Amino acid sequence: MAKYLVQGGLPLAGTARVHGAKNSILPVLAGSLLNGSKEKIRLKEVPLLGDVRAMLSILTRLGAQVDREGADLLLQTGALDCYHVPDVLMREMRSSIFLMGPLLGRLGRVRICYPGGCAIGKRPINLHLEGLQRLGAIIEERDGYIEARGRLRGSEVPLVYPSVGATENLMLAAVCARGETVIQNAACEPEIVDLQNFLNTIGARISGAGSSMIKIRGGTELRGGSYRVFPDRIVAGTFLLAAAVTRGTVTVEESVPEHLAVLTGFLKRAGADVAVNGSAVTVSAAGRLKGLSGVETGPYPGFPTDLQPQLLACLALAEGDSTITERVFNTRFHHLPELRKMGAKIELHGHRAAIRGVEGLNGAVVRATDLRAGAALVLAALAAAGESEILEIKHIERGYDRFPETLAGMGARISREEAVREEASLG
Ligand code: UD1
């Protein structure tokens, strides 16, 4: 099992280039299954994150041909022949749920077991299933499996909550449905816009993504094409928060500043300097941040739940008290016990974390419990005095490509170590 070793206490200074968004690449990869032609899809500059590898394994098992050309991926999905997603791969990550829409649309049938993913709370899929039923799917749930079948037809699909995954799954299914589908109360995240743009590039007719009403005119034959997803706003936000927590200066290049506006607004309120120059965003903090009260996570354009743990790690070192309320997932505070090991003073009241800022944190041995909680521990370790070990980094590597290398390029003392096997050390 690999781990990160961090010698904390150094301000970061430098520039980071952010890779493509994991949460765009995954539904886009699922969407590539909709291309029944012989033409290839080229996805440009795809980082081989843990979750991306897992999705590629699934696509290959379903009959897709996947090739790498430099940093690009080439996908040929004309000869899809399997409607059952292998259980072991399905359990590896929650995003495999996106496969329901395209497989159902393309093959008229799909069978999956309940998906896995980050341990950040109850993650039901009722909105996905109800939406597919509105499109005419017949769904049976038995012995831990979900099987859906039927020819899809366009329909109105109102969502009771703007779920990102359900919106994406329904867009993917609706591309194959006959007639028009209208998703109401759709999620407005940039990743939804990315999926729309990709699907339209390969021949779909979708409009409205980024607003709460998305229209899909289904029934078109999809083809090959070339696409590059948006830069990852959560990775970008993590680097900007790394600047703030280490009292350094970091520029994130080739970002979309608008996607980071709520975060940079909070950072300004907390006393950091923020400068935007075209697609580059710079955050610098000369001293301690000031505490922030009333931070709440929410669907876009609200503050992203995927940056909550990292912001919380920064506020643990701020001057004064802060509060963060988690409104998207019900148990997304597994990082608190680990941050407390480093000296953070945080209490949890239901979904609200009350943070009493401390002057310094100490290095410790801590465990990443999920992807973003793991990133938060790295930020805390970068600011802490002394050495930290971060265990279970497989969670972090699901979503951050070359994370230690990028941080080290900005002056951090961080390395990735493969743990020595016990047998070897005994030998
Ligand atoms: C996606 C992101 C994840 C991010 C989240 C919220 C991907 C691969 N993952 O996850 O990183 O944290 O959006 O921005 O894009 N819900 C239901 N029923 C459903 C579906 C969702 O009750 O059928 C609830 C969930 O339990 C959760 C909330 O809705 O409390 C938000 O979930 P959703 O927006 O669906 O998130 P994901 O698509 O799982």
Tell me what pLDDT residue 142 has.
84
Residue 124 CB–ligand 1 contact under 6 Å: yes
Marked catalytic residue, from 113, 118, 188, 314: 118
Measured by CA distance, the residue closest to atom 22 of ligand 1 is 124
Measured by CA distance, the residue closest to atom 5 of ligand 1 is 164
Residue 162 alpha carbon to ligand 1 centre in Å: 9
**pLDDT band with cut points at 50, 70 and 90 for residue 358:** very high
CA distance readout (Å), 341 to 152, 362, 369: 52, 8, 14
**pLDDT band with cut points at 50, 70 and 90 for residue 396:** very high
DSSP 43-102: E-S----HHHHHHHHHHHHTT-EEEEETTEEEEE-TT----B--HHHHHH-GGGGGGHHH
Neighbours of 268 (CB within 10 A): 12
Residue 161 CB–ligand 1 contact under 6 Å: yes
Tell me what pLDDT residue 423 has.
43
Measured by CA distance, the residue closest to atom 11 of ligand 1 is 306
Residue 306 CB–ligand 1 contact under 6 Å: yes
Tell me what pLDDT residue 95 has.
74
Nearest to 391 by CA among 408, 407, 374: 374
8 Å CB contact between 252 and 280 = yes
Measured by CA distance, the residue closest to atom 7 of ligand 1 is 23
Nearest to 116 by CA among 148, 143, 87, 145: 87
**pLDDT band with cut points at 50, 70 and 90 for residue 261:** very high
Residue 24 CB–ligand 1 contact under 6 Å: no
Mean predicted confidence (pLDDT) in 52-76: 95
271-282 per-position pLDDT tens digit: 999 999 999 999
Residue 163 alpha carbon to ligand 1 centre in Å: 5
Tell me what pLDDT residue 116 has.
55
**Between 233-246 and 308-315, two packed helices, what is the crossing angle to 10 degrees?**
10
Tell me what pLDDT residue 427 has.
33
- Does 82 qualify as catalytic in the annotation? no
Tell me what pLDDT residue 327 has.
96
Taking 70 as the threshold, does the pLDDT of residue 342 lie above it?
yes
359-395 per-position pLDDT tens digit: 999 999 999 999 999 999 999 999 999 999 999 999 9
Tell me what pLDDT residue 117 has.
47
Residue 276 alpha carbon to ligand 1 centre in Å: 30
Residue 95 alpha carbon to ligand 1 centre in Å: 10
- Choosing from 118, 123, 126 the residue with most ligand 1 atoms within 8 A of its CB, the one to mutate for a pocket test is 123
Tell me what pLDDT residue 426 has.
38
8 Å CB contact between 414 and 408 = yes
Residue 16 alpha carbon to ligand 1 centre in Å: 28
Measured by CA distance, the residue closest to atom 20 of ligand 1 is 125
Residue 26 CB–ligand 1 contact under 6 Å: yes
H-helix or E-strand spanning residue 239: helix 233-246
User: What is the set of domains in the chain, with CATH numbers?
Assistant: 2-19+231-418 (3.65.10.10), 22-227 (3.65.10.10)
Tell me what pLDDT residue 56 has.
95
Tell me what pLDDT residue 425 has.
41
Residue 125 CB–ligand 1 contact under 6 Å: yes
Taking 50 as the threshold, does the pLDDT of residue 155 lie above it?
yes
Neighbours of 79 (CB within 10 A): 11
Taking 70 as the threshold, does the pLDDT of residue 422 lie above it?
no
Nearest to 237 by CA among 272, 283, 298, 184: 283
Residue 414 alpha carbon to ligand 1 centre in Å: 32
Residue 164 CB–ligand 1 contact under 6 Å: yes
Instruction: Look at the block and give the residue holding tokens 């980082």.
Output: 47
Looking at residue 322, its amino acid is S
Residue 163 CB–ligand 1 contact under 6 Å: yes
Mean predicted confidence (pLDDT) in 170-187: 97
Nearest to 40 by CA among 17, 73, 13: 73
Tell me what pLDDT residue 420 has.
62
Pairwise CA distance, residues 163 & 127, whole Å: 8
Tell me what pLDDT residue 114 has.
75
CA distance readout (Å), 139 to 111, 129, 168: 10, 8, 18
**pLDDT band with cut points at 50, 70 and 90 for residue 1:** confident
Residue 166 CB–ligand 1 contact under 6 Å: yes
Residue 217 phi, psi dihedral angles, 5° rounding: -95, 110
Tell me what pLDDT residue 119 has.
54
Pairwise CA distance, residues 190 & 210, whole Å: 7
96-142 per-position pLDDT tens digit: 888 999 999 999 999 998 765 445 454 688 999 999 999 999 999 88
Q: pLDDT averaged over the chain?
A: 94
**pLDDT band with cut points at 50, 70 and 90 for residue 424:** very low
Provide the percentage of residues in the chain whose pLDDT is more than 70: 96
Taking 80 as the threshold, does the pLDDT of residue 184 lie above it?
yes
Tell me what pLDDT residue 60 has.
94
For residue 193, what are its two tokens? 């816009």
Taking 70 as the threshold, does the pLDDT of residue 236 lie above it?
yes
Tell me what pLDDT residue 281 has.
98
